[in-house]
Structure 1
């Protein structure tokens, strides 16, 4: 049940990241604050993992995202998104999400031309207009959403 809340939050972040190529602090820091408050109040993360597992998840996120941020590969919103996800879940979900996001990126890179040719012309036009408005920066949240879905299926 709690995974559904995380999934809905990731869907909101994905929609905003696709449209604006950034994720608001309200979505990332707000969820992080709520997850942290829940951790302190109950001693468990939203999915029921121990607080220590959420702490390890946050350490893993910082280890994996901060170098990318410093090199300009990740945006600050992506780092905050993953940090909030770590506080709300566990290290299993975080690692599974990273692996699933990597698989999603690879699949997208391998199949995007084929998928583009199958799209409805109206959808193509909308996506093309959206891509022209925001430039070259690619959103990361859609891959995180797919990665979380894959991790959830694998773990449960």
Structure 2
């Protein structure tokens, strides 16, 4: 049940990231705050892991995202998104989500040209218009969503 709520939150973040190329602080910091309150109130993360596991998950996220942020590969919202996810889950979910997101990126990069040839011309034109107006910045949240979904299926 808790994974479904996290999937819905990640879907909202993904939709906003694709549409606007940014994620609002209300979504990222709001969930991070709720996860912290839950941790302090119950002693467990949202999915039931110990509070120390959530702390280790946050440390892993900082180790993996802050260098990318400093190099300009990740946005601040991506770091906050992953931090909130870490506080709500465990190291296994965080590492699985990163691995799943990486696999999803590779699959997308290898198959996107083939998929574009299969698209309806109107949809193709609409996607091209969106891409032109928003620039080169690639959204990260959809890959996180896919990675979390793969991890949830794998773990449960």
* TM-score, length basis structure 1: 0.98
| Structure 2 gap segments, 5+ residues each | none
Q: Residue 51 of structure 2 corresponds to which residue in structure 1?
A: 51
CA RMSD of aligned residues (A): 0.6
Q: Residue 19 of structure 2 corresponds to which residue in structure 1?
A: 19
Q: Residue 148 of structure 2 corresponds to which residue in structure 1?
A: 148
Structure-1 separation of matches of 2:107 and 2:9 = 24
Q: Deviations over 1:102-146 (max 9, x none)?
A: 000000011010011111222212211110110000000010000
Q: What is the Cα deviation at residue 152 of structure 1?
A: 0.5
Q: Does 1:81 align with 2:88?
A: no
Q: Deviations over 1:67-98 (max 9, x none)?
A: 00000000000000000000011100000000
Structure-2 separation of matches of 1:155 and 1:99 = 13
* TM-score, length basis structure 2: 0.98
Structure-1 separation of matches of 2:40 and 2:82 = 19
Structure-2 separation of matches of 1:13 and 1:123 = 22
Q: What is the Cα deviation at residue 52 of structure 1?
A: 0.8
Q: Secondary structure at the match of 1:136?
A: coil
Q: Residue 66 of structure 1 corresponds to which residue in structure 2?
A: 66
Q: Deviations over 1:10-42 (max 9, x none)?
A: 000000000110111000000000000000000
Q: Residue 98 of structure 2 corresponds to which residue in structure 1?
A: 98
Q: Secondary structure at the match of 1:80?
A: helix
Moved more, 34-43 or 118-127: 118-127
Q: Which runs of 4+ in 1 moved over 6 A?
A: none
Q: Secondary structure at the match of 2:139?
A: coil
